[in-house]
Amino acid sequence: MPCTHAHQIYAALCPSTAFPKPRYAALRKLYSPHQPPSPATLLDSGALVLYFPSPHTVTGEDVLELHVHGGPAIVRAVLAAIPQAAAPSDGSAAHAIRYAEPGEFTRRAFANNRMDLPQIESLGETLSASTEQQRQISVRGTTSSLAGRYEQWRMLLLAARGELEALIDFSEDQHFDESPAQLCASVADQVRVLRAQMEAHVANAVRGELLRNGISMALLGAPNAGKSSLLNRIVGREAAIVSQEAGTTRDIVEVSVDLGGWLVKIGDMAGLRRAGLVGADAVGAVEQEGIKRAKQRALESDVLIVVQDATADMDPEVTETAKRCVESGINVVVAVNKIDQLSSTPGAEDAWKAKIHTALGLHTTHISFISCVCASTPVPTTPHTKDPGNIQSFLTTLTNTFRDMTAALVPDSDPSPSIWQESLGATERQRTLLCECLTHLDAFLAAVTPELTEGHSAYGIEPDAADDIDIVLAAESLRSAADALARITGKGEGGDVEEVLGVVFEK
């Protein structure tokens, strides 16, 4: 076995001892390099040493691991001794030993084909995961399945491009079984199937961003409906001021919380009202600004919780804003608060369900009945209530909503659930490049189906349309699409890849 730097460092730190067997831990004493072993030169009396030979290591290179006792002084002494270990004992020029740059070990793993770029990005997400859902989505991406899928798509496009370029280069000299129009139609059918899979992949990547970056949730309601009280019950602490005075919350109070494994960013906002409906007739300038921000925050959220006072009518401002959110595709959940004041009113809950369904068109599964008062101070007569105020039931409704929002979409053309679960782990960079690839596929379909002015619903090309097909443009579109996929895995042109490698590895 040729002597490597790993062998040289080991020989200097552990003189007169056998080199450890590959992949087996050995107990060794570490000494200062190039000095006779003695108690005065001892660095660590019992370190575990492991040797991993290339190429089957995390970086693809020889790896020597020193597991020393964790005292800061010992760690500093060993780190200071390692550069000396590579220096010859006669004082001649030493081999350069330095600390690794940020992400350098991972970069070497990529250069030696031990990891692909999607795996590396997922590794960064794994290290920063703080909730269970973030952990799950990051672990899914550390396998090679995503990169394998991207590479499969790329090879399919390269094969299709090869057929078209053969048609360009040899159409006059060779006889083809298919006419140019038939060949383009066949390739277009393959591209349409691929395009549908990519669109589902992009949609799942967007859903995965909710898991990775957190779900934005807003609390909307009239003044004194109980928004701040509900926020405090959700986060389990007094995160917002609660008062009987209407309009206590003027600006947006942002709180991040782990709800059932989902990272949720909750915004408690100013109460919405029209002049004369709640409190004083006039709505002051500060409150008007708070209402304006509340509406904007609601329309930018992923989930909207409408807090409705069970003892009051629905405020037109709240209803109008909530309806706009429903129409925008935002997930809306209604929490009817203060039900403790309706306990003696028969049919009150059914009446509220009908009223909310009429106003917002929500299914009854999106409507919960709660009491923040009972949740904070359980009624003495019901000490055995497991869910005072129905807060836990309401949180279950929320987590079910989160689960529906972040479940993987599985296209009919490829009903394998495993790969689409892993597609939730696609990063924003991968999603952007997939969108770029889709743009080039659209250009290809436009080139081979010139009779279409919009959409891609045609599944055939008439023979007399062959003269209108720009084969060169179609082949170039496939090349650009394949190149976008190559840049996802880091196999594109050097200049394109170098632009992203530094950023990815530093994470």
Torsion from C-alpha of 77, 83, 86, 91, nearest 10 degrees? -100
CB distance 267 to 253 below 8 Å: yes
Instruction: Identify the pLDDT of residue 403.
Output: 92
How many Cα atoms occupy the beta-carbon half-sphere of 498 within 13 Å?
3
Give CA separation, 321 vs 293, 327, 361, 377, in Å. 12, 10, 14, 32
Q: Cα 488 vs. chain centroid, distance in angstroms?
A: 16
Q: Round to whole Å and give the CA distance between 192 and 173.
A: 30
Residues linked to residue 303 through DSSP beta bridges, in sequence order: 217, 331
**Coil, helix or strand at residue 391:** helix
| Structure-token match 């892993």, residue found | 422
Contacts (Cβ under 8 Å, ≥6 apart) of 444: 188, 191, 474, 477, 478, 481
CA dihedral (434, 440, 446, 447) in degrees, to 10, reads: -150
Q: Which pLDDT score, from 0 to 100, does residue 25 have?
A: 95
**Strand 26-31 relative to strand 42-52: parallel, antiparallel, unpaired?**
antiparallel
Cis-peptide, bond into residue 55, ω within 30° of zero? yes
Backbone torsions φ then ψ of 291, nearest 5 degrees = -65, -40
Give the H/E segment covering residue 360: helix 348-360
pLDDT at 346: 77
Q: Dihedral, CA atoms, 426, 427, 430, 436, nearest 10 degrees?
A: 110
Q: Of how many residues is the chain composed?
A: 507
What pLDDT shows up at residue 243? 40
Look-up of token digits 């060949």: 183
Look up residue 493 and give its DSSP letter.
-
Residue 459: the pLDDT is: 44
Contacts of 185 (CB under 8 A, 6+ apart): 448, 459, 460, 461
pLDDT digits (tens, 9 = 90+) for 280-305: 455 556 667 777 788 888 898 999 99
At 247-257, the pLDDT tens digits run 444 455 778 88
For residue 12, give Cα distances in angstroms to 29, 81, 268.
11, 9, 62
Distance from C-alpha of 378 to C-alpha of 371, rounded to nearest angstrom: 10
Please tell me the predicted confidence (pLDDT) of residue 50.
96
Burial of 355 (0-12, 13-18, 19+ CB in 10 A): middle
Strands 215-221 and 262-268: parallel
Distance CA 41, CA 135 (A): 44
pTM higher than 0.85: no
Between CA 481 and CA 488, with CA 482 as vertex, the angle to 5 degrees is 100
CB 262 within 8 A of CB 212: no
Six-digit token string for 272: 């919405």
pLDDT given for residue 388 in this prediction: 80
**Where would I find the beta strands (DSSP E) of 281-436?**
303-309, 331-337, 367-369
The answer to whether residues 44 and 28 touch, using CB atoms and an 8 Å cutoff, is: no
Beta-sheet pairing, 331-337 with 63-67: unpaired
Are 12 and 33 spatial neighbours (Cβ–Cβ below 8 Å)? yes
pLDDT in tens for each of the 507 residues of the chain? 445 788 989 999 999 899 999 999 999 999 999 899 999 999 999 999 999 999 989 899 999 999 999 889 999 999 999 988 876 655 544 556 788 888 888 889 888 888 888 888 877 777 777 788 888 877 776 676 788 888 889 988 988 888 787 776 655 555 555 666 777 888 889 999 899 989 988 998 888 888 888 899 999 888 888 888 888 888 875 444 344 444 444 455 778 888 888 999 888 776 565 544 444 455 556 667 777 788 888 898 999 999 999 888 888 888 999 999 999 999 999 999 988 887 667 788 889 999 999 999 999 999 999 988 887 765 554 455 677 888 899 999 999 999 999 888 887 766 666 667 778 888 888 899 999 999 999 999 988 876 544 444 444 445 444 456 778 888 899 999 999 998 888 776 544 455 555 555 555
What pLDDT shows up at residue 325? 92
The three-class DSSP label of residue 218 is: strand
